[in-house]
Amino acid sequence: MSHTVDDGFAMVNAAHKANRMVQIGSQRVSSVLYAKAKEIYDSGKLGDVFEIAAYWDRNTASGAWVYPIPPDANEQTIDWATFLGDAPKRPFDPVRFFRWRCFADYGEGLAGDLFVHLISGIHFITGTDSAAQRAQSTGGLFRWKDGREMPDLIETLYDYPNFRVAVRCNLNNEGGEFIGFYGTKGTMIIKDSTLTYRPQDTRPKPESYSIMGWPAALRNQYLSQWHEEHPQPAPLDFNVDEESEMFVTPAGYNDIADHQANFFSAVRTRKPVVENEVFGNHAAIGCHLANYSYFNKAVAVWDQAASKIVRG
């Protein structure tokens, strides 16, 4: 949504001042698959979720933003001054124009391009309405050493009030898109266009490991007492065991089309959009936290009262 933290808040303020409807463009928020994931999350079937892990990995030149440069790219066909805007002035450079995500003057690299979709999806599913409290990043530029400034591998750990999130983007291996929710009662995985829910067997079980060092008589006494305190259900009291569930998007489905349709519908009906400027800004702040930590080699802390990132 924004190139800097200040940009994001300026956009939010402009939308509110003008009283306009704004929808940010992370299409996963409109995905039927993510809606199903939110349904499962809200149902409590996962139990308490304290850990979420996500990644989006690519292994192609296009995935690394090495886009081809049209042969007619020149200062007559490109408005270079308008492209630069308030970025530092420099001579015309078609590489910077067509591969702008690689350069800090114009883009936010992997965090701004891919983290944002993962963070938006996590915020949507968990009902999170705030930015991460702090972030710590590591990574590097290992393979795509073509003059870019952004890393081709970045991993960030985020602190939220009730859970922790680990996010990775790697341009050196094709891993696809993944978000995992690890709860006390179940695990939910979104992998590309597939959603899987797998319950965990949380029924009480007698200890089996540590008592192997006990004398046989004490071990047998413990097991006998345990089974007495945890009897099998009586006839007619048994319930079926819950098994894994899998959901996939239908053939031909496109969540970008749904996201656009949601916006058009909101404009027509005047009902709230699915991803407003405040939601989008919270996700963008997470991207800025990741890059701040990476480039400063420090923990990035979100100072909500001051609306800025501070060194932790």
Cβ–Cβ under 8 Å, residues 284 and 296: no
Calculate what percentage of the chain has a pLDDT beyond 70.
100
Domain assignment present for 224: no
Closest CA to 183 of 167, 166, 163: 163
Cβ–Cβ under 8 Å, residues 262 and 30: yes
Domain assignment present for 94: no
Q: Rounding to the nearest 10 degrees, give the CA dihedral for residues 94, 96, 101, 102.
A: 120
Domain assignment present for 74: no
Q: How many CB atoms lie within 10 A of CB 4?
A: 12
**Strand partners for 56:** 169, 177
Residue span of the structural domain in which 272 resides:
5-65+108-201+243-311
What's the average model confidence in pLDDT over 239-246? 88
pLDDT of residue 237: 87
Domain assignment present for 170: yes
Confidence bin at 283 (pLDDT 50/70/90):
very high
Domain assignment present for 80: no
Closest CA to 291 of 169, 51, 127, 111: 111
Q: Is this model's pTM higher than 0.85 or not? A: yes
DSSP-derived 3-state class of residue 305: coil
Is it the case that residue 90 has pLDDT exceeding 90?
Answer: yes
Domain assignment present for 213: no
**Strand partners for 7:** none
Cβ–Cβ under 8 Å, residues 189 and 199: no
Domain assignment present for 233: no
Domain count, the chain: 1
Residue 116 CA to residue 53 CA, distance in Å, equals 14
Domain assignment present for 103: no
Is it the case that residue 217 has pLDDT exceeding 90?
Answer: yes
Is it the case that residue 159 has pLDDT exceeding 90?
Answer: yes
**Strand partners for 159:** 134, 164
Contacts of 262 (CB under 8 A, 6+ apart): 23, 30, 273, 274
Beta-carbon-side half-sphere exposure of residue 26 (alpha carbons within 13 Å): 28
Task: List the CATH number of the domain containing 282.
Answer: 3.30.360.10
Confidence bin at 80 (pLDDT 50/70/90):
very high
3-state helix vs strand vs coil in the chain, percent to 5: 35, 20, 45
pLDDT of residue 243: 87
Higher pLDDT residue, 233 or 41? 41
What's the average model confidence in pLDDT over 53-61? 98
Whose tokens are 């939308």? That residue is: 15
